[in-house]
Amino acid sequence: MLRYKDGDVAAFEILYRRHNDSLYRYLLRLSLNRDTAEDLFQEVWGKIIKARHRYRPTAKFTTFLYRVAHNCFIDYVRSNKRHMVVSGIDPECSPDPGDAPDLEAEKSLARQRLDVALGTIPDEQRDAFLLHEEAGLSIDTIAQVTGVNRETVKSRLRYATKKLKAALAEPAVQTQRTA
């Protein structure tokens, strides 16, 4: 980021390639809407680009990046209360061309079950779970990013895991009926 601040675009590209997919999935699972995720994705990177002159390496770039992403999502939720109603994640997105059609169909179904299960838990718990799974952040870092204390993060993670485990353990037909 410091190199990009000095005008090195290649350094930014390396940074971007390191974090782009995980950030995209974080925003996609968090917002449960593809269009919203893409808008938030561009907004987050736009803010990172604009903030390059003010950036200070006081923490890991991952922490800085996901803090910006978390704040963008919070702003989106405040300005659009209906984001939970629309669930537009395409289950057939980015298919792997090397997979067989049967295997791809099974993965698509499992991905859909995961999205449905994630949609059943509250935003705060899903946020904590995704920050742990996608960004690999520790409890303390999640607390720093989300602005809550450590025990709250642990509680959210525990509840999110419990609900996801229960939802994924259900039969696929029942899960789809619930969704």
What is the binding site for another protein (CB under 8 A)? 4, 7, 9, 12-13, 16, 20-21, 24-25, 28-29, 38, 41-42, 45-46, 49-50, 52, 93-94, 96, 107, 110-111, 114, 129, 132-134, 136, 138-139, 154-155, 157-158, 161-162, 164-165, 168
Among residues 38, 55, 175, which one has the least CA distance to residue 115? 175
Report which residue type is found at 111.
Answer: R
Q: Which of 82/115 has CB closer to another protein?
A: 115
* Residue 48, SS3 per DSSP: helix
Q: Which of 70/125 has CB closer to another protein?
A: 125
Distance, in Å, from the CA atom of 31 to the CA atom of 25, rounded to the nearest integer, reads 10
Virtual CA dihedral for 103, 109, 115, 121, nearest 10 degrees? -120
Specify burial of residue 147 (Cβ count, 10 A radius: 0-12, 13-18, 19+): exposed
Q: Which of 12/70 has CB closer to another protein?
A: 12
Q: What's the min distance (Å) between Cβ of 152 and another protein?
A: 12
Q: What's the min distance (Å) between Cβ of 141 and another protein?
A: 11
Q: Which of 7/81 has CB closer to another protein?
A: 7
Distance, in Å, from the CA atom of 47 to the CA atom of 73, rounded to the nearest integer, reads 13
Q: What's the min distance (Å) between Cβ of 109 and another protein?
A: 9
